[in-house]
Structure 1
Protein backbone atom coordinates (compact mmCIF):
# COMPACT_ATOMS: atom_id res chain seq x y z
CA UNK A 1 0.00 0.00 0.00
CA UNK A 2 1.13 3.54 -0.62
CA UNK A 3 -0.03 7.03 0.30
CA UNK A 4 -1.61 9.84 -1.72
CA UNK A 5 -2.38 13.50 -1.25
CA UNK A 6 -6.14 14.19 -1.53
CA UNK A 7 -8.17 15.43 -4.48
CA UNK A 8 -5.92 14.01 -7.21
CA UNK A 9 -7.77 13.32 -10.46
CA UNK A 10 -6.90 10.05 -12.14
CA UNK A 11 -7.34 8.28 -15.45
CA UNK A 12 -6.55 4.79 -16.73
CA UNK A 13 -3.56 4.37 -19.06
CA UNK A 14 -3.07 1.71 -21.70
CA UNK A 15 -0.41 0.16 -19.46
CA UNK A 16 -2.95 -0.69 -16.80
CA UNK A 17 -1.53 1.92 -14.46
CA UNK A 18 -3.19 5.11 -13.26
CA UNK A 19 -1.85 8.59 -13.82
CA UNK A 20 -2.40 10.88 -10.86
CA UNK A 21 -2.07 14.56 -11.63
CA UNK A 22 -1.21 17.21 -9.11
CA UNK A 23 -0.31 20.86 -9.70
CA UNK A 24 3.13 20.98 -11.35
CA UNK A 25 3.59 17.25 -10.97
CA UNK A 26 2.46 13.82 -12.10
CA UNK A 27 3.15 10.25 -11.09
CA UNK A 28 1.76 6.82 -11.81
CA UNK A 29 0.05 4.32 -9.56
CA UNK A 30 1.88 1.05 -10.14
CA UNK A 31 -0.26 -2.03 -9.74
CA UNK A 32 2.88 -4.18 -9.80
CA UNK A 33 3.81 -2.65 -6.43
CA UNK A 34 0.33 -3.07 -5.00
CA UNK A 35 -0.14 0.68 -4.68
CA UNK A 36 -3.36 2.04 -3.20
CA UNK A 37 -2.97 5.60 -1.97
CA UNK A 38 -4.36 6.81 1.33
CA UNK A 39 -6.54 9.90 0.82
CA UNK A 40 -8.19 10.35 4.21
CA UNK A 41 -6.41 13.12 6.13
CA UNK A 42 -7.98 12.15 9.49
CA UNK A 43 -6.69 8.59 9.13
CA UNK A 44 -3.24 9.89 8.11
CA UNK A 45 -3.04 12.05 11.23
CA UNK A 46 -4.39 9.24 13.41
CA UNK A 47 -1.66 6.86 12.21
CA UNK A 48 1.06 9.41 12.97
CA UNK A 49 -0.44 10.19 16.37
CA UNK A 50 -0.28 6.47 17.23
CA UNK A 51 3.52 6.55 17.22
CA UNK A 52 4.90 7.95 20.48
CA UNK A 53 8.01 10.07 19.96
CA UNK A 54 10.24 12.28 22.08
CA UNK A 55 12.91 14.84 21.30
CA UNK A 56 15.77 13.25 19.39
CA UNK A 57 13.73 10.19 18.39
CA UNK A 58 14.88 8.39 15.24
CA UNK A 59 11.95 7.42 12.98
CA UNK A 60 11.87 5.37 9.78
CA UNK A 61 8.84 5.49 7.50
CA UNK A 62 8.32 2.50 5.22
CA UNK A 63 6.64 3.16 1.88
CA UNK A 64 5.86 6.90 1.98
CA UNK A 65 4.43 6.82 -1.55
CA UNK A 66 3.16 10.33 -2.25
CA UNK A 67 3.39 11.51 1.35
CA UNK A 68 -0.01 11.06 3.01
CA UNK A 69 1.55 10.44 6.42
CA UNK A 70 5.02 11.72 5.51
CA UNK A 71 3.89 15.34 5.51
CA UNK A 72 2.73 14.99 9.12
CA UNK A 73 5.91 13.20 10.19
CA UNK A 74 7.99 16.03 8.70
CA UNK A 75 6.10 18.49 10.92
CA UNK A 76 7.11 16.76 14.16
CA UNK A 77 9.82 18.86 15.81
CA UNK A 78 12.98 17.32 17.19
CA UNK A 79 12.92 13.91 15.48
CA UNK A 80 15.48 12.42 13.10
CA UNK A 81 13.46 11.18 10.14
CA UNK A 82 14.21 8.91 7.20
CA UNK A 83 11.95 7.14 4.71
CA UNK A 84 12.56 4.12 2.48
CA UNK A 85 10.76 4.03 -0.88
CA UNK A 86 11.37 1.58 -3.72
CA UNK A 87 9.56 3.57 -6.42
CA UNK A 88 12.03 6.08 -7.90
CA UNK A 89 9.17 8.11 -9.38
CA UNK A 90 7.69 8.59 -5.90
CA UNK A 91 11.10 9.61 -4.55
CA UNK A 92 11.32 12.32 -7.19
CA UNK A 93 7.77 13.44 -6.42
CA UNK A 94 8.41 13.60 -2.68
CA UNK A 95 11.60 15.61 -3.11
CA UNK A 96 9.80 18.14 -5.32
CA UNK A 97 6.70 18.36 -3.14
CA UNK A 98 8.32 18.32 0.32
CA UNK A 99 11.70 20.09 0.26
CA UNK A 100 12.25 19.16 3.92
CA UNK A 101 12.65 15.51 2.89
CA UNK A 102 15.78 16.17 0.83
CA UNK A 103 18.57 13.83 1.96
CA UNK A 104 16.21 11.71 4.06
CA UNK A 105 15.01 9.25 1.42
CA UNK A 106 16.41 5.75 0.85
CA UNK A 107 15.52 4.64 -2.68
CA UNK A 108 15.35 0.86 -2.33
CA UNK A 109 13.17 -1.94 -1.01
CA UNK A 110 12.81 -2.11 2.76
CA UNK A 111 13.66 -5.81 2.43
CA UNK A 112 17.12 -4.90 1.08
CA UNK A 113 17.78 -1.94 3.35
CA UNK A 114 20.65 -1.99 5.83
CA UNK A 115 20.10 -0.57 9.31
CA UNK A 116 19.12 3.05 8.61
CA UNK A 117 20.26 4.45 11.96
CA UNK A 118 22.84 3.83 14.63
CA UNK A 119 21.10 3.26 17.94
CA UNK A 120 17.37 2.78 18.58
CA UNK A 121 14.69 3.85 16.12
CA UNK A 122 10.96 3.42 15.55
CA UNK A 123 9.13 2.35 12.39
CA UNK A 124 5.89 3.64 10.92
CA UNK A 125 4.22 3.01 7.61
CA UNK A 126 1.32 2.34 5.34
CA UNK A 127 3.06 -0.93 4.54
CA UNK A 128 3.00 -2.42 1.03
CA UNK A 129 0.50 -5.21 1.58
CA UNK A 130 2.20 -7.65 -0.78
CA UNK A 131 5.34 -7.73 1.41
CA UNK A 132 3.91 -6.83 4.84
CA UNK A 133 4.69 -10.25 6.33
CA UNK A 134 8.28 -10.01 5.09
CA UNK A 135 8.53 -6.55 6.64
CA UNK A 136 7.60 -8.08 10.00
CA UNK A 137 10.46 -10.56 9.69
CA UNK A 138 12.71 -7.57 8.97
CA UNK A 139 11.44 -6.00 12.21
CA UNK A 140 12.39 -9.19 14.07
CA UNK A 141 15.86 -8.98 12.52
CA UNK A 142 16.18 -5.38 13.67
CA UNK A 143 14.53 -6.05 17.04
CA UNK A 144 17.50 -4.94 19.20
CA UNK A 145 17.12 -1.42 17.77
CA UNK A 146 13.37 -1.24 17.03
CA UNK A 147 11.22 -0.83 20.12
CA UNK A 148 7.95 0.41 18.57
CA UNK A 149 6.28 -0.16 15.20
CA UNK A 150 3.03 1.40 13.96
CA UNK A 151 1.80 0.02 10.68
CA UNK A 152 -1.23 -0.31 8.46
CA UNK A 153 -1.82 -3.82 7.13
CA UNK A 154 -4.45 -5.77 5.28
CA UNK A 155 -7.03 -6.46 8.00
CA UNK A 156 -6.54 -10.23 7.90
CA UNK A 157 -2.78 -9.86 8.42
CA UNK A 158 -3.28 -7.41 11.30
CA UNK A 159 -5.72 -9.83 12.92
CA UNK A 160 -3.27 -12.68 12.49
CA UNK A 161 -0.46 -10.75 14.16
CA UNK A 162 -2.67 -9.73 17.10
CA UNK A 163 -4.55 -13.03 17.46
CA UNK A 164 -4.45 -14.87 20.83
CA UNK A 165 -3.91 -18.62 21.03
CA UNK A 166 -6.94 -20.81 20.47
CA UNK A 167 -8.05 -18.66 17.54
CA UNK A 168 -8.07 -19.77 13.89
CA UNK A 169 -6.09 -16.63 12.96
CA UNK A 170 -3.31 -17.55 15.42
CA UNK A 171 -0.26 -18.79 13.56
CA UNK A 172 3.45 -18.48 12.91
CA UNK A 173 3.50 -14.69 12.67
CA UNK A 174 1.38 -14.38 15.84
CA UNK A 175 3.77 -16.47 17.93
CA UNK A 176 7.05 -15.11 16.57
CA UNK A 177 6.03 -11.47 17.01
CA UNK A 178 4.22 -11.90 20.33
CA UNK A 179 7.30 -13.58 21.78
CA UNK A 180 9.08 -10.24 21.55
CA UNK A 181 6.41 -7.53 21.20
CA UNK A 182 3.14 -6.47 22.80
CA UNK A 183 0.58 -6.20 19.98
CA UNK A 184 -2.24 -3.64 20.01
CA UNK A 185 -4.99 -3.72 17.38
CA UNK A 186 -5.68 0.02 17.15
CA UNK A 187 -8.33 0.71 14.51
CA UNK A 188 -9.68 -0.34 11.12
CA UNK A 189 -9.59 1.69 7.92
CA UNK A 190 -12.40 1.56 5.35
CA UNK A 191 -11.44 0.83 1.76
CA UNK A 192 -13.01 4.12 0.65
CA UNK A 193 -10.16 5.92 2.44
CA UNK A 194 -7.91 4.88 -0.46
CA UNK A 195 -7.62 5.77 -4.11
CA UNK A 196 -8.28 3.42 -5.79
CA UNK A 197 -10.18 1.52 -3.09
CA UNK A 198 -8.53 -1.86 -2.43
CA UNK A 199 -10.57 -5.05 -2.49
CA UNK A 200 -9.53 -5.78 1.10
CA UNK A 201 -10.11 -4.02 4.40
CA UNK A 202 -7.24 -2.50 6.36
CA UNK A 203 -6.24 -2.12 10.00
CA UNK A 204 -3.56 -0.35 12.01
CA UNK A 205 -1.64 -2.10 14.78
CA UNK A 206 1.14 -1.09 17.17
CA UNK A 207 4.00 -3.31 18.31
CA UNK A 208 5.85 -2.39 21.51
CA UNK A 209 8.93 -4.42 22.41
CA UNK A 210 8.58 -6.40 25.62
CA UNK A 211 10.93 -5.60 28.47
CA UNK A 212 10.92 -9.32 29.25
CA UNK A 213 10.63 -11.30 26.00
CA UNK A 214 9.73 -14.97 25.95
CA UNK A 215 12.36 -17.26 27.50
CA UNK A 216 13.48 -19.22 24.45
CA UNK A 217 16.40 -21.62 24.07
CA UNK A 218 17.58 -19.84 20.91
CA UNK A 219 15.99 -17.94 18.06
CA UNK A 220 16.90 -20.71 15.63
CA UNK A 221 15.27 -23.45 17.71
CA UNK A 222 12.22 -21.33 18.49
CA UNK A 223 11.62 -20.30 14.88
CA UNK A 224 12.02 -23.86 13.57
CA UNK A 225 9.73 -25.23 16.29
CA UNK A 226 6.94 -22.73 15.58
CA UNK A 227 7.13 -23.04 11.80
CA UNK A 228 7.14 -26.85 11.95
CA UNK A 229 4.26 -27.00 14.43
CA UNK A 230 2.03 -24.79 12.27
CA UNK A 231 3.11 -26.57 9.10
CA UNK A 232 0.58 -29.27 10.02
CA UNK A 233 -1.68 -27.22 12.26
CA UNK A 234 -4.60 -29.65 12.14
CA UNK A 235 -2.56 -32.53 13.52
CA UNK A 236 -1.57 -33.25 17.11
CA UNK A 237 1.89 -31.88 17.77
CA UNK A 238 3.50 -35.28 18.27
CA UNK A 239 3.17 -35.83 14.50
CA UNK A 240 4.93 -32.78 12.99
CA UNK A 241 7.39 -32.52 15.93
CA UNK A 242 8.37 -36.20 16.18
CA UNK A 243 11.95 -35.60 15.02
CA UNK A 244 12.54 -32.71 17.43
CA UNK A 245 11.85 -34.42 20.77
CA UNK A 246 12.64 -37.73 22.41
CA UNK A 247 10.14 -40.57 22.00
CA UNK A 248 9.76 -40.68 25.79
CA UNK A 249 8.79 -37.00 26.01
CA UNK A 250 6.42 -37.25 23.05
CA UNK A 251 4.63 -40.14 24.73
CA UNK A 252 4.52 -38.75 28.27
CA UNK A 253 3.86 -35.01 27.93
CA UNK A 254 0.16 -34.28 27.24
CA UNK A 255 1.05 -31.05 25.44
CA UNK A 256 1.93 -33.11 22.35
CA UNK A 257 -1.68 -34.23 22.06
CA UNK A 258 -2.66 -30.61 21.39
CA UNK A 259 -2.63 -28.74 18.09
CA UNK A 260 -0.33 -25.79 17.42
CA UNK A 261 -3.04 -23.15 17.76
CA UNK A 262 -3.83 -24.35 21.31
CA UNK A 263 -0.35 -23.50 22.63
CA UNK A 264 0.49 -20.13 24.12
CA UNK A 265 3.67 -18.27 23.25
CA UNK A 266 5.01 -19.33 26.67
CA UNK A 267 4.24 -22.98 25.82
CA UNK A 268 6.28 -22.76 22.64
CA UNK A 269 9.11 -21.03 24.51
CA UNK A 270 9.17 -23.76 27.15
CA UNK A 271 9.21 -26.48 24.49
CA UNK A 272 12.19 -24.88 22.79
CA UNK A 273 14.30 -25.82 25.83
CA UNK A 274 13.31 -29.50 25.51
CA UNK A 275 14.23 -29.98 21.85
CA UNK A 276 16.81 -32.57 20.93
Structure 2
Protein backbone atom coordinates (compact mmCIF):
# COMPACT_ATOMS: atom_id res chain seq x y z
CA UNK A 1 0.00 0.00 0.00
CA UNK A 2 1.22 3.50 -0.81
CA UNK A 3 1.95 5.98 1.91
CA UNK A 4 -0.96 7.65 3.65
CA UNK A 5 -1.81 11.17 2.56
CA UNK A 6 -1.92 13.54 5.57
CA UNK A 7 -5.36 14.98 6.17
CA UNK A 8 -5.65 18.57 7.31
CA UNK A 9 -9.06 17.97 8.90
CA UNK A 10 -7.47 15.43 11.26
CA UNK A 11 -4.50 17.63 12.09
CA UNK A 12 -2.10 15.08 10.61
CA UNK A 13 1.58 16.01 10.36
CA UNK A 14 3.54 12.78 9.91
CA UNK A 15 6.95 12.65 11.59
CA UNK A 16 9.65 11.71 9.08
CA UNK A 17 12.76 11.77 11.30
CA UNK A 18 13.28 8.29 12.74
CA UNK A 19 15.91 9.48 15.22
CA UNK A 20 13.29 11.65 16.87
CA UNK A 21 10.77 8.80 16.76
CA UNK A 22 13.28 6.61 18.60
CA UNK A 23 13.84 9.32 21.22
CA UNK A 24 10.10 9.65 21.83
CA UNK A 25 9.72 5.88 22.18
CA UNK A 26 12.58 5.90 24.69
CA UNK A 27 10.56 8.15 27.02
CA UNK A 28 8.81 4.96 28.17
CA UNK A 29 12.00 3.03 28.95
CA UNK A 30 11.14 2.96 32.66
CA UNK A 31 7.83 1.21 31.90
CA UNK A 32 8.87 -1.79 29.83
CA UNK A 33 6.50 -4.67 30.36
CA UNK A 34 3.54 -2.37 30.93
CA UNK A 35 0.90 -2.14 28.16
CA UNK A 36 1.16 0.93 25.93
CA UNK A 37 -1.65 2.69 24.08
CA UNK A 38 -0.41 4.81 21.18
CA UNK A 39 -2.73 7.58 20.00
CA UNK A 40 -2.76 8.50 16.30
CA UNK A 41 0.06 6.31 14.96
CA UNK A 42 -0.46 7.37 11.33
CA UNK A 43 2.00 5.26 9.35
CA UNK A 44 3.68 3.85 12.44
CA UNK A 45 7.00 5.70 12.60
CA UNK A 46 6.76 5.73 16.40
CA UNK A 47 4.97 2.38 16.58
CA UNK A 48 7.96 0.65 14.99
CA UNK A 49 10.31 1.76 17.76
CA UNK A 50 7.83 0.98 20.53
CA UNK A 51 7.69 -2.58 19.19
CA UNK A 52 11.47 -2.72 18.75
CA UNK A 53 11.88 -1.69 22.39
CA UNK A 54 9.71 -4.59 23.49
CA UNK A 55 6.52 -2.79 24.50
CA UNK A 56 3.09 -4.45 24.50
CA UNK A 57 1.51 -2.01 22.05
CA UNK A 58 -2.10 -1.25 21.15
CA UNK A 59 -2.79 1.63 18.75
CA UNK A 60 -5.90 3.73 18.20
CA UNK A 61 -6.31 5.58 14.91
CA UNK A 62 -9.40 7.41 13.64
CA UNK A 63 -8.16 7.65 10.02
CA UNK A 64 -9.38 4.65 8.02
CA UNK A 65 -6.57 4.95 5.47
CA UNK A 66 -3.99 4.84 8.24
CA UNK A 67 -5.73 1.82 9.80
CA UNK A 68 -5.49 -0.03 6.46
CA UNK A 69 -1.81 0.91 6.17
CA UNK A 70 -1.04 -0.29 9.69
CA UNK A 71 -2.86 -3.58 9.16
CA UNK A 72 -0.81 -4.26 6.05
CA UNK A 73 2.55 -3.16 7.43
CA UNK A 74 2.38 -4.25 11.08
CA UNK A 75 1.08 -7.84 11.09
CA UNK A 76 2.38 -8.30 14.64
CA UNK A 77 -0.31 -5.83 15.78
CA UNK A 78 -3.18 -7.93 14.44
CA UNK A 79 -6.19 -7.40 16.70
CA UNK A 80 -4.58 -4.42 18.42
CA UNK A 81 -5.15 -1.77 15.76
CA UNK A 82 -8.28 0.04 16.83
CA UNK A 83 -10.08 2.20 14.27
CA UNK A 84 -11.75 4.49 16.77
CA UNK A 85 -11.86 7.97 18.26
CA UNK A 86 -9.60 8.10 21.31
CA UNK A 87 -11.67 10.88 22.87
CA UNK A 88 -14.82 8.72 22.85
CA UNK A 89 -13.30 5.46 24.06
CA UNK A 90 -13.76 3.78 27.43
CA UNK A 91 -10.05 3.30 28.07
CA UNK A 92 -10.56 1.01 31.06
CA UNK A 93 -12.59 -1.35 28.90
CA UNK A 94 -10.17 -1.19 25.98
CA UNK A 95 -7.12 -1.88 28.15
CA UNK A 96 -8.77 -4.47 30.38
CA UNK A 97 -8.95 -2.25 33.48
CA UNK A 98 -5.17 -2.58 33.97
CA UNK A 99 -2.50 0.09 34.22
CA UNK A 100 -1.04 1.28 30.91
CA UNK A 101 1.02 4.09 29.40
CA UNK A 102 -0.18 6.54 26.75
CA UNK A 103 2.08 7.89 24.03
CA UNK A 104 1.71 9.57 20.67
CA UNK A 105 2.52 12.26 18.18
CA UNK A 106 -0.67 14.02 19.17
CA UNK A 107 -2.77 15.99 16.66
CA UNK A 108 -2.43 19.67 17.46
CA UNK A 109 -6.14 20.34 17.12
CA UNK A 110 -7.19 18.00 19.94
CA UNK A 111 -4.08 17.80 22.15
CA UNK A 112 -5.67 19.58 25.13
CA UNK A 113 -8.70 17.29 24.95
CA UNK A 114 -6.39 14.27 24.91
CA UNK A 115 -4.78 15.34 28.18
CA UNK A 116 -8.13 16.02 29.83
CA UNK A 117 -9.03 12.46 28.82
CA UNK A 118 -5.80 11.11 30.37
CA UNK A 119 -6.68 12.99 33.55
CA UNK A 120 -10.00 11.15 33.72
CA UNK A 121 -8.04 7.86 33.83
CA UNK A 122 -5.18 9.07 36.05
CA UNK A 123 -5.38 6.02 38.32
CA UNK A 124 -4.79 3.70 35.35
CA UNK A 125 -2.15 5.79 33.54
CA UNK A 126 1.18 6.06 35.43
CA UNK A 127 2.95 7.68 32.48
CA UNK A 128 1.91 9.69 29.46
CA UNK A 129 4.45 11.06 27.01
CA UNK A 130 4.71 12.25 23.45
CA UNK A 131 4.86 15.19 21.09
CA UNK A 132 2.46 18.08 20.70
CA UNK A 133 2.50 21.74 19.78
CA UNK A 134 5.41 23.44 21.60
CA UNK A 135 3.17 26.12 23.09
CA UNK A 136 0.87 23.53 24.63
CA UNK A 137 3.76 21.35 25.82
CA UNK A 138 5.30 24.36 27.57
CA UNK A 139 1.95 25.16 29.16
CA UNK A 140 1.60 21.68 30.65
CA UNK A 141 5.04 21.87 32.28
CA UNK A 142 4.91 25.57 33.25
CA UNK A 143 5.59 26.68 36.82
CA UNK A 144 3.49 29.19 38.78
CA UNK A 145 4.26 32.75 37.75
CA UNK A 146 4.76 31.86 34.09
CA UNK A 147 2.62 33.62 31.49
CA UNK A 148 1.67 30.23 30.01
CA UNK A 149 0.76 28.62 33.35
CA UNK A 150 -2.95 27.81 33.12
CA UNK A 151 -5.82 25.41 33.65
CA UNK A 152 -4.11 22.28 32.30
CA UNK A 153 -0.89 23.16 34.14
CA UNK A 154 -2.65 23.08 37.51
CA UNK A 155 -5.05 20.20 36.90
CA UNK A 156 -2.36 17.90 35.49
CA UNK A 157 0.40 18.88 37.91
CA UNK A 158 -1.90 18.04 40.80
CA UNK A 159 -1.51 14.38 39.80
CA UNK A 160 1.60 14.19 37.57
CA UNK A 161 5.22 15.33 37.57
CA UNK A 162 5.70 16.86 34.13
CA UNK A 163 8.96 17.29 32.21
CA UNK A 164 9.49 19.26 29.01
CA UNK A 165 12.11 17.09 27.30
CA UNK A 166 13.07 18.62 23.96
CA UNK A 167 11.92 20.76 21.02
CA UNK A 168 11.29 19.45 17.50
CA UNK A 169 11.63 21.68 14.44
CA UNK A 170 9.01 22.00 11.72
CA UNK A 171 11.10 20.52 8.91
CA UNK A 172 10.88 16.90 10.13
CA UNK A 173 7.19 16.54 9.34
CA UNK A 174 5.08 15.92 6.25
CA UNK A 175 3.55 18.42 5.80
CA UNK A 176 5.60 20.80 7.98
CA UNK A 177 3.42 22.49 10.60
CA UNK A 178 3.61 26.25 11.06
CA UNK A 179 4.87 25.91 14.63
CA UNK A 180 7.52 23.96 16.52
CA UNK A 181 6.68 20.87 18.55
CA UNK A 182 7.68 19.84 22.05
CA UNK A 183 8.08 16.44 23.67
CA UNK A 184 6.94 15.97 27.27
CA UNK A 185 6.69 13.16 29.80
CA UNK A 186 4.19 13.02 32.65
CA UNK A 187 4.79 10.60 35.52
CA UNK A 188 2.10 9.93 38.10
CA UNK A 189 3.02 11.33 41.50
CA UNK A 190 2.19 9.81 44.89
CA UNK A 191 -0.99 11.84 45.43
CA UNK A 192 -4.10 9.73 45.98
CA UNK A 193 -6.37 12.50 47.29
CA UNK A 194 -5.99 16.25 47.03
CA UNK A 195 -7.31 16.95 50.50
CA UNK A 196 -10.16 19.11 49.24
CA UNK A 197 -13.40 18.86 47.30
CA UNK A 198 -11.87 17.82 43.98
CA UNK A 199 -14.88 18.83 41.90
CA UNK A 200 -14.84 22.31 43.41
CA UNK A 201 -11.04 22.46 42.97
CA UNK A 202 -11.49 21.90 39.25
CA UNK A 203 -14.27 24.49 39.07
CA UNK A 204 -12.16 27.10 40.89
CA UNK A 205 -9.17 26.51 38.60
CA UNK A 206 -11.28 26.85 35.46
CA UNK A 207 -13.24 29.84 36.77
CA UNK A 208 -10.24 31.87 37.90
CA UNK A 209 -8.14 31.24 34.80
CA UNK A 210 -11.18 32.10 32.71
CA UNK A 211 -10.82 35.59 34.20
CA UNK A 212 -7.08 35.58 34.68
CA UNK A 213 -6.71 39.38 34.49
CA UNK A 214 -8.85 39.72 37.61
CA UNK A 215 -7.71 39.21 41.17
CA UNK A 216 -9.12 36.14 42.90
CA UNK A 217 -11.30 38.38 45.08
CA UNK A 218 -13.26 39.32 41.95
CA UNK A 219 -13.05 36.21 39.80
CA UNK A 220 -14.29 33.87 42.51
CA UNK A 221 -17.30 35.94 43.61
CA UNK A 222 -19.66 33.94 41.39
CA UNK A 223 -18.85 30.77 43.36
CA UNK A 224 -19.70 32.34 46.74
CA UNK A 225 -22.99 33.16 48.49
CA UNK A 226 -24.19 36.73 47.79
CA UNK A 227 -23.02 39.23 50.37
CA UNK A 228 -20.64 36.84 52.13
CA UNK A 229 -17.66 38.31 53.98
CA UNK A 230 -14.27 37.06 52.85
CA UNK A 231 -11.74 36.19 55.52
CA UNK A 232 -8.73 38.51 55.56
CA UNK A 233 -6.25 36.51 53.44
CA UNK A 234 -3.44 37.66 51.08
CA UNK A 235 -4.66 35.24 48.38
CA UNK A 236 -7.59 37.48 47.39
CA UNK A 237 -5.22 40.07 45.94
CA UNK A 238 -3.43 37.53 43.75
CA UNK A 239 -4.14 36.34 40.23
CA UNK A 240 -4.50 32.65 39.36
CA UNK A 241 -1.14 32.26 37.62
CA UNK A 242 0.57 33.13 40.92
CA UNK A 243 -0.87 30.12 42.79
CA UNK A 244 0.77 26.71 43.07
CA UNK A 245 -1.27 23.51 43.05
CA UNK A 246 -1.16 23.40 46.85
CA UNK A 247 -2.32 27.01 47.07
CA UNK A 248 -5.29 26.18 44.83
CA UNK A 249 -6.07 23.28 47.18
CA UNK A 250 -5.90 25.64 50.15
CA UNK A 251 -8.14 28.12 48.32
CA UNK A 252 -10.66 25.36 47.61
CA UNK A 253 -10.86 24.56 51.32
CA UNK A 254 -11.37 28.24 52.14
CA UNK A 255 -14.21 28.49 49.60
CA UNK A 256 -15.75 25.26 50.94
CA UNK A 257 -15.74 26.71 54.47
CA UNK A 258 -17.31 29.97 53.27
CA UNK A 259 -20.03 28.06 51.44
CA UNK A 260 -20.73 26.01 54.54
CA UNK A 261 -19.96 22.57 53.15
CA UNK A 262 -18.78 20.45 50.24
CA UNK A 263 -20.19 21.07 46.77
CA UNK A 264 -22.92 18.60 45.86
Same fold, judged at TM 0.5 (above): yes
Alignment: residue pair count: 252
In structure 2, how many angstroms separate the alpha carbons of the residues matched to 1:197 and 1:27?
A: 15
Greater share of residues in helix: 2
Report the CA distance shift for 1:251/1:54 in structure 2 as closer, same or farther (over 3 A). Answer: closer
List runs of 5+ in structure 2 lacking aligned partners. 260-264
Alignment pair present for 1:198 and 2:177: yes
Q: CA-to-partner distance for each residue in 1:16-68, whole Å, 9 max, x for gaps?
A: xxxxxxxx424321111111110001100000011134553111001100111
Alignment pair present for 1:232 and 2:211: yes
List runs of 5+ in structure 1 lacking aligned partners. 1-23
Match of 2:235 among 217, 239, 255: 255
Match of 2:4 among 27, 30, 44: 27
Do the aligned residues in 2 keep the contact of 1:179 with 1:213 (CA within 8 Å)? Answer: no
Alignment pair present for 1:273 and 2:250: no
Could you say what secondary structure the match of 2:48 adopts?
Answer: helix
1:213 Cα deviation after fit = 5.6
In structure 1, how many angstroms separate the alpha carbons of the residues matched to 2:222 and 2:191?
A: 30
1:114 Cα deviation after fit = 1.2
Q: CA-to-partner distance for each residue in 1:112-166, whole Å, 9 max, x for gaps?
A: 1111212110011001110000000000001010010111010000011111011
Q: What is the match of residue 60 of structure 1?
A: 37
Match of 2:72 among 89, 96, 103: 96
* Deviates most, 183-192 or 54-63: 54-63
Alignment pair present for 1:85 and 2:73: no
Do the aligned residues in 2 keep the contact of 1:60 with 1:82 (CA within 8 Å)? Answer: yes
Q: CA-to-partner distance for each residue in 1:225-261, whole Å, 9 max, x for gaps?
A: 0001111101111111013346666351120111111
Q: Structure 1: which 4+ aligned runs deviate by more than 4 Å?
A: 245-249
Indicate the RMSD between aligned Cα atoms, in angstroms.
1.6
Match of 1:180 among 159, 164, 174: 159
In structure 2, how many angstroms separate the alpha carbons of the residues matched to 1:229 and 1:76?
A: 43
Alignment pair present for 1:70 and 2:61: no
